[in-house]
């Protein structure tokens, strides 16, 4: 089996010069809207558990519509009492394998795999398998995990997750190289190897949150950051700090990513009604907000459509038809307008 068959990187799918790109975060349901809540009750699903019956069709629509990425979280166990959100339900690597088979265009991103909960050899093999099957489209987002309930279930120490994150990340990168199988502590077995190797020269890794790491370590060791939505001043400062630290480390600018919980109004001019991590807003003010984000240094935005009061196929179509071409337009302002409200702050 050939290794390193793709000289490009999946980051090129989500990072474009002077242009913000748009992705969609799973799950693909509007179960957080009044209409979705009524349907959930009728289906007798617990709160936080999405309807996945339309999932394959919606994925294919997104892949064919010009979006740059599909993103998923990692929720090992459903904890309705303390967190109340089951995420996208499926095991992320099984889900990524499915997505690799039914998509052709989008980057496949995680935000992020809880790295300290898994043996790094198995993560390395699963990630390389997805990258190979998808033709080099994996962006591996990693996290240390913020749900203490999961660590005792696996006999792991929640307080050591930051240290474990660093050790496991080092193992991943060694395992993706030619030349043998890492055994830990810098030892390599030349008699064993882990296959397949990634289709990319190496799989780009980004950090979701901070992984219990310093900003300096993140900039020097990760290809990008995926941060919570927040006020533009804070996000601009985070992006500028990340890029300054990467420059100090002699690296490229990396990629800076955030998310937005979107309820796209039918009225294209409807002004934003903020909500935690997002807003209900018409497409014209939303496009203005995207320009704000680009001016603040954000490269890519993942929209979550769970709050949407409109049917998801309709929203995906409007975003594709009226938002994505606007992001690519050279006629857009080179800097954000001061008249656009600062929406999408963390709650």
**Tell me: the pLDDT tens digits for 176-197?**
999 888 887 778 888 899 999 9
Helices 283-296 and 232-248: angle between axes, nearest 10 degrees: 30
**Contacts for 242 with CB less than 8 Å, ≥ 6 apart:** 215, 218, 219, 225, 254, 256
pLDDT digits (tens, 9 = 90+) for 51-90: 999 999 999 999 999 999 999 999 999 999 888 899 999 9
Rounded mean pLDDT, 126-135: 98
The pairs formed by 72-75 with CB atoms below 8 angstroms and a separation of 24 or more are 72/25, 72/26, 72/96, 72/109, 72/110, 72/111, 73/25, 73/26, 73/110, 73/111, 73/112, 74/110, 74/112, 74/113, 74/114, 74/143
Query: What pLDDT, on the 0 to 100 scale, is given for residue 187?
Result: 81
Query: How confident is the model at residue 4, as a pLDDT?
Result: 37
Of the pLDDT bands very low, low, confident and very high (cuts 50, 70, 90), residue 335 is very low
Degrees (nearest 5) of the Cα angle 304, 308, 313? 85
Dig out the tokens for 78 from the structure. Answer: 């459903």
Q: Name the token pair of 293.
A: 């984000």
Provide the CATH number for the domain formed by 22-328 in this structure: 3.20.20.30
pLDDT score at 343 = 62
Q: What is the pLDDT of residue 344?
A: 58
- Asked whether the predicted pLDDT for residue 3 surpasses 50, the reply is no
In sequence order, which residues have a C-beta less than 8 Å from that of residue 29 and are 6 or more positions away?
Answer: 36, 50, 51, 52, 54, 305, 306, 312
The pLDDT tens digits for 255-295 are 999 999 999 999 999 999 999 899 999 999 999 999 999 99
Q: What is the pLDDT of residue 338?
A: 38
CA distance 161 to 113: 13
φ/ψ of residue 77, rounded to 5: -130, 145
Q: Is 137 within 8 Å of 131 (Cβ atoms)?
A: yes
**Exposed/middle/buried for 335, CB within 10 Å: 0-12, 13-18, 19+?**
exposed
Domain ranges in the chain? 22-328
Interatomic CA distance for residues 188 and 178, integer angstroms: 11
Whether residue 47 is predicted with pLDDT greater than 60 in this model: the reply is yes
Report the mean per-residue pLDDT for the chain: 91
């Amino acid at each position: 089996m050939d290794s390193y068959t793709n000289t490009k990187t999946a980051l090129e799918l989500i990072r474009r010069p002077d242009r913000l790109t748009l992705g969609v975060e799973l799950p693909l349901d509007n179960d957080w809207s009044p209409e979705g809540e009524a349907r959930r009750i009728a289906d007798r699903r617990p709160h936080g558990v999405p309807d996945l019956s339309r999932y394959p069709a919606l994925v294919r629509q997104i892949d064919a519509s010009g979006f740059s990425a599909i993103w998923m979280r990692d929720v090992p166990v459903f904890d309705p009492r303390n967190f109340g959100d089951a995420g996208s339900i499926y095991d992320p690597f099984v889900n990524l394998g499915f997505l690799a088979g039914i998509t052709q265009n989008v980057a496949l991103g995680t935000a992020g795999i809880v790295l300290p909960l898994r043996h790094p050899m198995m993560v390395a093999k699963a990630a390389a398998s997805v990258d190979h099957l998808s033709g080099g489209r994996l962006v591996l987002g990693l996290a240390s995990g913020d749900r203490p309930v999961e660590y005792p279930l696996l006999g792991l120490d929640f307080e050591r997750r930051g240290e474990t994150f660093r050790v496991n990340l080092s193992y991943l990168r060694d395992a993706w190289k030619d030349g043998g199988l890492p055994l830990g502590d810098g030892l390599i077995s030349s008699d064993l190897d882990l296959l397949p190797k990634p289709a990319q020269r190496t799989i780009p890794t980004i950090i979701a949150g901070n992984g219990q790491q310093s900003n300096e370590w993140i900039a020097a060791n990760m290809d990008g950051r995926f941060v919570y939505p927040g006020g533009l001043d804070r996000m601009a400062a985070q992006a500028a700090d990340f890029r300054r630290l990467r420059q100090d480390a002699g690296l490229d600018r990396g990629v800076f990513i955030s998310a937005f919980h979107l309820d796209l109004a039918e009225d294209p001019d409807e002004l934003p009604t903020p909500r935690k991590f997002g807003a209900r807003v018409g497409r014209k003010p939303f496009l203005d907000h995207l320009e704000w984000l680009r001016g603040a240094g954000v490269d890519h935005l993942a929209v979550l459509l769970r709050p949407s009061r409109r049917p998801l196929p309709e929203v995906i179509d409007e975003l594709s038809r009226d938002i994505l071409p606007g992001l690519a337009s050279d006629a857009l302002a080179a800097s954000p307008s001061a008249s656009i409200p600062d929406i999408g702050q963390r709650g």
